[in-house]
A and B are shown apart, each in its own frame.
Chain A
Amino acid sequence: MRDVAIIATAQTKHVRAATATNEVELIQPVIQEVIERSGIDRHGFDFTCSGSSDYLQGQPFSFVMTLDAVAAWPPISESHVEMDGAWALYEAWVKIQTGHADTALVYSYGKSSPGDLPRVLSRMLDPYYEAPLWPTSVDVAALQARAAIMAGVTSEQAMADIAYRSRTSAANNPFAQLQSSAQPSALMDEEYLADPLRKHDCAPITDGGVAIVLAAGDKARALCSRPAWIRGIDHRADGHHLNLRDLTTSPSASIAAEKAGVANGPIEIAELHTCFTHHEPILRSALGLGDSVEVNPSGGPLAANPMMAAGLLRIVEVANRIHSGDVSRGVAHATGGHALQHNLVAVLEGEG
């Protein structure tokens, strides 16, 4: 495998509703920023790949318009995934592995504010047996949380502690949407949104986007003083039907972690795509992360959750800490589907 590194990142300030900007206007400044940081000419990228969802935008082929944000003229080698941007990064990583590209621009974005997100996400369920019941994403997550509590994986108190820790960590993250939290004891007094989930257990609804530049080998070393090397990356899917899965574990995340080589060295931080508080203990266990591993120092998705970008944002947050020299080895995780159905794990390292 070729050595591939993240050499530059950028992100929006994540907000509840970016009402005054459409998707192109939302992501264009981020792309501009990441290009400038990378030191690569705007027309110098060998490959471009993005991730987004038509269902959020309410328009078929919505990504066509967003291509206007990347200056695809003269024409470029480009592709798009209908998944979180972490998978766009994966496609770009594979493209660099084929030898057809040495550099790649990756971006993803989501504006959830125009629709009713939990109900929109219900359209992602099996169309024959589950979607006709219209369970929202929060309803499905509540089933999983209840199962996790009953299995002793977590508790409502532990979940409130995770919410508190995540949102107070985000106080140091100027891009986060939520940057503070009431004390866990006060959180526990709140009403249920969907028993056993309270509002604080759920990631916020967010508009935002992120961008990354990848480069291979010596090109990465020439352009970045401390590249964040992708030492391993893998993704796996679990089955869909909720009644055919053990919702208290994430077997696909475990396989991805093993293939990505999480256990091949000490992990300092982990940025996990935890859309709900109970995802953290499930993922900690699935990825084999010890208690010493700091999870979501950025605040994680519980502090900013741009759909289709929150997974790529996890990779950005680990890469940023490697670029700065604060971290030597970290793990980033992205998820897709309901109840942690599809999971991607990447291990990032600084050199030396």
Chain B
Amino acid sequence: MGAERVAVVGVGQTKYSAMRGDVSLPGLLREATFRALEDAQMTLADIDAIVIGKAPDFFEGIMVPEYSLVQALGAVGKPMFRVHTAGSVSGSTAVVASGLIESGVHERVLTIGWEMQSCSEAMWALSLNMPFQQQLVAGAGGYFAPYIRQYIERSNAPDDTGVLVALKDRQNALNNPYAHLHEHGITYDSVKDSLMLWDPIRYSETCPSSDGAIALILTNEAGGDAATAEGRPPAWVHGTSFRSEPAMAAGRDQVSPQAGKDCAADVFRQAGITNPRKQIDVVEMYVPFSWYEPMWLENLGFAEEGTGWQLTHDGATAMDGDLPVNCSGGVLSTNPIGASGMIRFGEAALQVRGMAGAHQIDGARKAVGHAYGGAAQFYAMWVVGSDKP
């Protein structure tokens, strides 16, 4: 880490749903922002800079929407920054915001990830047929299904691994009041019997399309110490990283991409993690399609290659397992694309602050937030802890 330590002292989330018809776009962002400010015991006047991330502007049909949000976010006269890095975007955004503190450039930064997917149909927005380009047939699910099939082929994972992940994440979401999906009647059979969309991905193994925003308040060490002194424990940032690789490259393995491995190795090196399975207490990772839980467990180094599915089947990734994954319900329960990455980062922070409510893991002291995007080619991660790095 650089010169300054970074502390997460505020986390604010909107209620996520398929269509937040009750708020305008500025209203949506302010809902998350003011909850984060309340958590941090600050006002907009305390904020030095604002860093915003979201997925493509076409989703809402507004070009660079930050410009029309400047007044609503109290950014007049302040630095306002917009990050855009595919599905990983708001993870990357949190990393950029963290860098502003770590570098000593700013002391208190507000960072926001958001999407209002009810404005459009994201699946088809991602499926435009551009001249001379490979078409992303039928959205992200259609793109990723062949790599999941390849994972099953390589690992001999049981057919119902994805069903177990979806059931777990959607049941976890019942403990998260902000989650989009609250499927009280969900069962193993209801997931397994749901419509097959892109074999082997069933309807109930697929992320929803959500409206929502998340805001984080980051401060330097003095800000973190002050929060601690006032009895509001911060989450300390122990490491941040992003990695990218091309959509197409000879020798590229899309089942377990090198950029994901490199990103995890980099962030764990910074955080002094040598045995992630033992040293990490809880993980929020980007699982938009159920099978990506075992795939990322391997890719990030939590399990040996070909064995990630065993953690799922053994219950290791459940709330009462030794490596709980996506206690919030994850992307499978809430997916405003441009917020989904930062929700992982923010939920990881809530866990080590002991503020995750009904989905809190007792005694969680070190947590991972993870996001990916594009053709499984963009990665952003952070490790946060209860203790100073």
Contacts and interface: CB of A to CB of B under 8 A. Distances in A.
Interface of A: 1, 22, 48, 53-55, 59-61, 63-65, 67-68, 72-83, 87, 90-91, 94-95, 97-100, 120-121, 123-128, 130-131, 234-241, 244, 251-252, 255, 336-338, 341-342
Interface in B87-110: 92, 95-96, 99-100, 102-105
A60 to B, nearest CB: 3
Contact of B241 (A77, A120, A255): A77
A327 B195 CA distance: 68
Given A65-B133, A73-B245, A82-B84, A98 B126 contact: no
A53 B64 contact: yes
A60 B59 contact: yes
A167 B56 CA distance: 36
A174 to B, nearest CB: 30
Interface string B189-205: 00000000000000000
A75 B241 CA distance: 12
A61 B86 contact: yes
Interface of B: 1-3, 24-25, 55-65, 67-71, 75-86, 92, 95-96, 99-100, 102-105, 125-126, 128, 130, 132-133, 241-249, 252, 257-259, 262-263, 266, 374-375, 377-378
B132 A22 contact: yes
Contact of A124 (B63, B77, B95, B248): B63
Given A65-B133, A94-B103, A127-B61, A75 B67 contact: no
A241 to B, nearest CB: 7
Give 6 closest A-B pairs by Cβ, nearest first: A60-B56, A97-B103, A75-B259, A98-B2, A82-B84, A78-B244
Contacts of A240: 67-71
A131 B81 contact: no
A116 to B, nearest CB: 13
B62 A131 contact: yes
Contacts of A90: 81
A254 to B, nearest CB: 10
A84 to B, nearest CB: 10
Contacts of B245: 72-76
13 contacts: A59-B128, A68-B248, A74-B262, A79-B242, A81-B81, A81-B82, A91-B96, A94-B99, A125-B68, A127-B62, A237-B75, A239-B70, A252-B77
A49 B258 CA distance: 20
A75 B258 contact: yes
Contacts of B266: 77
A183 to B, nearest CB: 37
B242 A77 contact: yes
A302 B69 CA distance: 29
B104 A80 contact: no
Contacts of A244: 71
A251 B259 CA distance: 42
Contacts of A237: 67, 70, 75-80
A61 B56 contact: yes
Contacts of A342: 67, 80
Contact of B374 (A61, A100, A337): A61
- Report which residue of B24, B85, B248 has the largest number of chain A beta carbons within 10 angstroms of its beta carbon: B85
A77 B243 contact: yes
